Amino acid sequence: MTRYLTRRLAHAALLLLAVSVFSFALLQLAPGDFFAPLKLNPQISARTVEGLRAQYGLDRPWPVRYGHWLRGVFHGDLGPSFAYNSPVAPLLAVRARNTLLLTGTAMLWAWLIAIPLGIVSAVRRGKWSDRAGGVVTSALLTIPDLVLFLAILLLAVRSGWFPTGGMVSTAFGELSGRGRAMDIAYHLFLPALALAIATLPALVRHIRSAMIEVLQAPFIRAARAHGISEYRVLLRYALPVAANPLISLFGFSVATMLSASLLVEVILSWPGIGPLLLEAILAKDVYVVLGTVMLSSVFLVLGNLVADLLLFAVDPRIRMES
Amino acid sequence: MKVESNLNSGRTEPLLRVTGLSQQFVQRRTLSRSKFTVNAFSDVDLALFAGRTLALVGESGAGKSSLARCVALLDQPTAGKIELEGRDLLALGRKALIPIHGQIQMIFQDPTSAMNPSRSAGEIIAEPLVVQGEGTKAQRRERALHLMEQVGLDPRSEGKRPFEFSGGQRQRLAIARGLALGPRVLIFDEVLSNLDALNQSLILRLLADLQRSHSLAYLHVSHDLRLVSEFADDVALMCEGQIVEQQDARKLFESPKHSYTRDLLATVQSVDSILLERSA
Amino acid sequence: MRDCWARPVGDCLETLLAVKNLNVAYRSADGSTQVAVENASCEIGAGEVLGLMGESGCGKTSIALALLGLLGAEQAQVSGSIQFRGKELLTMGEREMREIRGSGISMVFQEPGIALNPVMRVREQVAEVIHAHKQMSWEKCQEEAQSALVRVGLPDTPRIFSAYPHQLSGGQRQRVTLAQALACEPALVIADEPTAAVDARSQQELLRLLQQLQREMGIAILMISHSAEVQARLADRLMVMERGRIVEQGRFEELYRRPSHPCTRAMLRAPMAADDAEELDFATVT
């Protein structure tokens, strides 16, 4: 087992290295850099701009800059953000935390709702409750996420029940500990709901089809023939076997935890990685972009690893192969 | 220990001869570095004669199917020779092997999974002809219909899909496909195992008829010794990848030499002897 | 019991199961129905073994499923009468039916490889059956499960009890399904081709085991098998089915020595001597 883990981690490290090189190189292809727009400003002399560029090492060839950056990574230094004039790492940490809060909540809600919904639709397959559910999920799938989020934003603006953006209110600093938690929750509700609604339909469908497939297996009929109650058949026989494809799905969810929320964050103004990345790309704040990409890649690798380990733990057939 | 094959005495040359055939698999345990070798079968000698059936018998896991697949040129053995009328088949290149594939055909245990469920019966039977580029479309159709009649299927059902046939009929369909290229050797891998007693008898009768009319050599893999006693001319017994006894069927059933053969024969009881046992 | 072997049911055995005019028709997606069983009638006495033979697709398994009430209304149309210990099964409520399944009438399925839960240990799978019918603690159920597994000839080792189905051989898996069926000491066991997926040696052992357990526990068996040798070993009486209809019924020996229906003749063919090729008469069957 330890050998397996070390091998996976070694692969992961190589992958991350390759991603970093590739991303860095790709970023250089875009013409200009962060300070390029400054040149258009007549009040700033060319020498000042050059000085700024030299200060950040932007005049060096990119492999050199990459090497410098890589060395920094091992010390926890992800480079400087030009726009914020501060190191990238703490900036990313805060934003990443906010994003994880959002996606974590949304994922929890989505899975908690999808599992019973999926099971019930599978059990009542063909009946009108299943068909009604099918219509709803189809509708939600066809509506573009953008439209969905804008609709929710509209709801917030018109009704005034929910804040229309941000993570905390202006009076945050003066609130007690409990007050602060409530404040964040109040702001979190709508974006999390929006994201949950966006990811729910696909989940329900996957769970439904995994359950339907398992319920047709001969061992389910055999269990019923032995007089085992339907409830137990579902929970002890069908669900554990259906879990197999769903675990892979879960791993994928974890993998995209940092990236899935980008649209929600931008539209509902949640201060996560999404808006940060968007700004940084437009402004060519290269080290921020690089840092974000690397962090997302780490999550991807982690998500896959989690899925594989879970499968190993849950399915004895996979465990026995080793 | 190699067993002397007493099949050659006083007969014509074998159509297909297998000498010293072995197959090994090297497997690596998942999540670890250690490797271990598995012998599918080792040092096998076989001889198939035109118009005769060699039954390959053994328990599940003995290596019969792996051996059958190698003889059918579907898998690569790790050592040994396969000769068709003296020609060394394993030494041939891919291109030279193409016509040879038509000479040796294999019929599988489960006809349902061996056929494309979205094709019609006629298309399935004609497929080998398409692959080898033989004949025009009309000629292929003719041949397919002719083959359907030969195996006892109604030619009018050529447009039906496999699932519309019964189990026994599907097996006949598979046999018709196997005959499409006019092979000299047919290899059957447990083709009777999924069938009920009635269909087993019917298929066996069909196979015997086909063997007589086309002078085919059969290699018939089966775990059912009782069935084997009905159709085999020669029997080769396999145990854990090796041939433990190989001789004329009659002689084998009358006086088995190897203890394994004797044990296996003891498990086959006739209905009469069972009834006798019960009333005792 | 041996004397009763010679006489038809009703003379000395209490009638355990009485099937009258059973009809099973499967519904297909386009609304049409396909008849699987037509007007079947039979009786099984307590402790008796009734063999059921026929070509695959002739309705054998459909009868078994109908007996256990496993055919839902959307799946098939079932009519007629099935009386078990005097109670009518076809009109019985689901809860009562569930009590009977596994403890009154139980089933041994074909192909144990797919009839067992792949991710549950075998002892637990047997324990589940016991737990469904007896009011016992889960630990007690597991203990009973262990004895059930030993009774069917599996070695009394933790390796076997805590094994998953894929770690056992075909013969061992079939014993596990047998243990499941016998765990609650049912009155009637339906065995659906119990030796079809097993190799020759294990087949003999399994049949001997079944014979022994049947005598010891006095259970009745509905033995579904297309093999004459299997029926010869266990069946007291035999039913032959062809395309959904029962074409011949009677004592096994009677049918074997003097078969009247061509299907019976075909299925119970005479023993093969190794050195003579038998001509099988099929002119009337196809």
Best to test chain B binding among C229, C238, C243, C282 (most B CBs inside 10 Å) = C229
pLDDT digits over C169-178, tens only? 888 999 999 9
Using a CB–CB cutoff of 8 Å, tell me whether C215 touches chain B.
no
pLDDT digits over A238-247, tens only? 988 998 888 8
Distance CA B126, CA B112 (A): 17
> Has residue C3 got a pLDDT over 60?
no
pLDDT for the residue B40: 87
CA nearest neighbour of C101 among C61, C148, C133, C146? C133
Interface contact C133-A222, CB threshold 8 A: no
Residue C42 sits at φ, ψ, to 5 deg, of -165, 170
Q: In 3-state terms, chain A is what percent helix, strand and coil (to 5)?
A: 75, 0, 20
Distance CA A245, CA A68 (A): 43
| CA-based nearest residue in chain A for residue C29 | A126
Flag whether B58 is in a domain: no
Which of these ranges, A24-33, A151-160, B110-119, C270-279, has the smallest mean pLDDT? C270-279
Cα C63 to Cα A277, B107, B111, C19: the distances in Å are: 66, 33, 26, 10
Distance CA B168, CA A124 (A): 36
Residues of A in contact with C116 (CB under 8 A): 219, 222
List, in sequence order, every beta strand (DSSP E) within chain A: 80-81, 86-87
Interface contact C200-B274, CB threshold 8 A: no
pLDDT for the residue C50: 95
Integer Rg of chain B from CA = 20
pLDDT for the residue C273: 27
Over chain C, what is the mean pLDDT? 84
| CA-based nearest residue in chain A for residue B31 | A4
Q: Which amino acid is at A112?
A: L
Distance CA C161, CA A186 (A): 53
Residues of C in contact with A228 (CB under 8 A): 102, 128-129, 132
Interface contact C226-B198, CB threshold 8 A: yes
pLDDT for the residue C270: 44
CB atoms within 10 A of CB B33: 8
Distance CA B128, CA C105 (A): 50
Q: For residue A283, what are the domain limits?
A: 89-321
Residues of B in contact with A321 (CB under 8 A): 29-30
Flag whether A5 is in a domain: no
> Has residue B2 got a pLDDT over 90?
no
DSSP H helical ranges for chain B: 64-71, 94-103, 111-114, 121-131, 137-150, 167-179, 197-214, 225-231, 249-254, 259-266, 271-279
Distance CA A198, CA C160 (A): 47
CA nearest neighbour of A106 among A26, A219, A45, A190? A190
CA nearest neighbour of A165 among A102, A110, A108? A102
Residues of A in contact with B30 (CB under 8 A): 321-322
Using a CB–CB cutoff of 8 Å, tell me whether A236 touches chain C.
yes
- How many domains does chain A divide into? 1
- How many domains does chain B divide into? 1
Flag whether B168 is in a domain: yes
Q: For residue B156, what are the domain limits?
A: 116-176
Flag whether B105 is in a domain: no
User: Could you tell me the domains of chain C?
Assistant: 2-281 (3.40.50.300)
Using a CB–CB cutoff of 8 Å, tell me whether C115 touches chain A.
yes
**CATH number of the domain to which A296 belongs:** 1.10.3720.10
Instruction: Write down which chains contact chain A via at least 3 CB pairs under 8 A.
Output: B, C
Flag whether B141 is in a domain: yes
Collapsing DSSP states into helix, strand and coil, what is residue C96?
helix
Best to test chain A binding among B31, B32, B34, B36 (most A CBs inside 10 Å) = B31
Greatest Cα-to-Cα distance within chain B, rounded to the nearest angstrom: 66
pLDDT digits over C67-105, tens only? 999 988 888 999 999 999 989 999 988 899 999 998 899
Flag whether B133 is in a domain: yes
pLDDT for the residue B29: 66
pLDDT digits over A88-125, tens only? 999 999 999 999 999 999 999 999 999 999 999 999 88
CA–CA min distance B34, chain A (Å)? 11
CA–CA min distance A219, chain C (Å)? 4
Using a CB–CB cutoff of 8 Å, tell me whether A71 touches chain C.
no
Using a CB–CB cutoff of 8 Å, tell me whether C281 touches chain B.
no
Interface contact C201-B202, CB threshold 8 A: no
pLDDT digits over B229-244, tens only? 889 999 999 888 888 8
Cα C228 to Cα A152, B3, B231, C7, C234: the distances in Å are: 71, 35, 18, 21, 10
CB atoms within 10 A of CB A116: 11
CA–CA min distance B187, chain C (Å)? 21
Residues of A in contact with B27 (CB under 8 A): none
Distance CA A256, CA A277 (A): 15
| Neighbouring residues of C104: CB distance < 8 A, sequence distance ≥ 6 | C84, C85, C186, C187, C188
pLDDT for the residue B33: 67
Q: Give bridge partners of residue C44 from the DSSP assignment.
A: C17
Instruction: Write down which chains contact chain C via at least 3 CB pairs under 8 A.
Output: A, B
CA–CA min distance C97, chain A (Å)? 8
Using a CB–CB cutoff of 8 Å, tell me whether B35 touches chain A.
no
Residues of B in contact with A3 (CB under 8 A): 31-33
